[in-house]
């Protein structure tokens, strides 16, 4: 019989202390302790929570945004590094499995930033470093894409856990790669997107994508989305009334927990800061899979085949000359 735990999950919806990695990590630690105090065994934070999202890519031209890229680079974190060590210790001390988004500096180039999700076990072990495969739209001005080596499901105290960042949750093949490894708990980290086109509702888009993955995979998803604080609006928009109005757009963030039927478990949180809690019982995943198990009987692997290159990619490969 597989291990099918019951536990409390926490989805954190909050704004970072913008472009201040140390202060944002301190805020994250306080929220981890708060969630653990309410009985949470899994705590999920937003995409690039440390130290924030590059909204200037959407509100400025590339030349105007370039100094902001440097500012984000200088404020980003190293993996491993002191901020990661603090987060690992917080997970160990509180006994929670932790998923949190960071801006990660590349090890080999000053021009490389990764949109990275850290997956940390309840013993403080760094289980996974997932780098967003494809930055979305204007994000390509900031982040370098990751590789397939981090598309992994981790065996944790709360069950088989996978994680994707924001638009990756729209990537059917990435999601299938996690499902095919037995994923039963999915962490989906997002950012508030008030700068989207006028006919795009970010909160609704998050709910649709989450429901799709839960219903297709018959699993639970914990969705954590950031918010935009007044301090962030002041910093990015300054006195520009149009940008201030844009960044204050409502219905730009949604966090919550969704079940294997695609429905929310409890009430999601929209726009406001807070923590959403819900009880997850992985035993609820069994019966729905009898109807649609797309990684089992409800597929035709003689017809369809997915190949994933999970080799880590490096800028250069040296072949030593044989003696």
Active site residues: 47, 132, 166
Three-class DSSP labels, 75-119 = HCECCCCHHHHHHHHHHHHHCCEEEEEEEEECCCCCCCEEEEEEE
Q: Where does residue 47 rank: exposed (0-12), middle (13-18), buried (19+ CB within 10 A)?
A: buried
Contact 63, 40 (CB under 8 A): no
Rounded Cα distance, 109 and 198, in Å: 37
Whether residue 140 is preceded by a cis peptide bond, meaning omega within 30 degrees of 0, is no
**Which residues, at least 6 apart from 65, have a Cβ–Cβ distance to it below 8 Å?**
54, 56, 57, 141
Contact 312, 149 (CB under 8 A): yes
DSSP string, 125-178: -EEEEEEPSS--GGGGGT-----GGG---EEETTEEEEEEEGGGGG-HHHHHHH
The closest alpha carbon to 53, from 236, 200, 206, belongs to 236
Rounded Cα distance, 165 and 118, in Å: 11
């Amino acid at each position: 019989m597989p291990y099918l735990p019951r536990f409390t999950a926490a989805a954190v919806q909050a704004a970072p202390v913008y472009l201040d990695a140390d202060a944002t990590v301190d805020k994250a630690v306080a929220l981890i302790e708060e969630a653990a105090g309410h009985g949470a065994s899994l705590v999920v934070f937003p995409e690039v929570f440390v130290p924030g999202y590059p909204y200037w890519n959407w509100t400025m031209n590339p030349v105007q945004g370039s100094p902001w890229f440097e500012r984000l680079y200088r404020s980003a974190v190293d993996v491993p590094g002191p901020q990661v060590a603090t987060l690992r210790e917080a997970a160990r001390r509180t006994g929670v499995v932790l998923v949190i988004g960071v801006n990660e500096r590349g090890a080999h180039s000053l021009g490389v930033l990764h949109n990275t999700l850290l997956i940390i076990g309840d013993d403080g072990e760094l289980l996974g470093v997932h780098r967003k495969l494809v930055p979305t739209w204007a994000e390509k001005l900031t982040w370098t894409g990751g590789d397939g080596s981090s598309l992994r499901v981790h065996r944790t105290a709360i069950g088989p856990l996978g994680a994707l960042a924001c638009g990756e949750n729209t990537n059917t093949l990435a999601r299938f790669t996690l499902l095919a490894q037995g994923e039963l708990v999915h962490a989906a980290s997002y950012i508030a997107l008030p700068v989207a086109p006028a006919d795009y509702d970010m909160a609704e888009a998050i709910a649709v994508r989450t429901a799709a993955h839960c219903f297709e995979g018959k699993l639970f998803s914990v969705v954590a989305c950031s918010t935009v604080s007044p301090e962030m609006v002041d910093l990015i928009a300054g006195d520009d009334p149009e940008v201030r109005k844009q960044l204050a757009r409502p219905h730009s963030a949604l966090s919550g927990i969704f079940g294997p039927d695609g429905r929310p478990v409890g009430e999601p949180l929209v726009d406001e800061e807070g923590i959403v809690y819900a009880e997850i019982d992985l035993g609820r995943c069994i019966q729905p899979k009898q109807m649609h198990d797309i990684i089992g009987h409800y597929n035709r692997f003689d017809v369809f085949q997915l190949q994933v290159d999970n080799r880590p990619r490096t800028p250069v490969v040296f072949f030593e000359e044989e003696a």
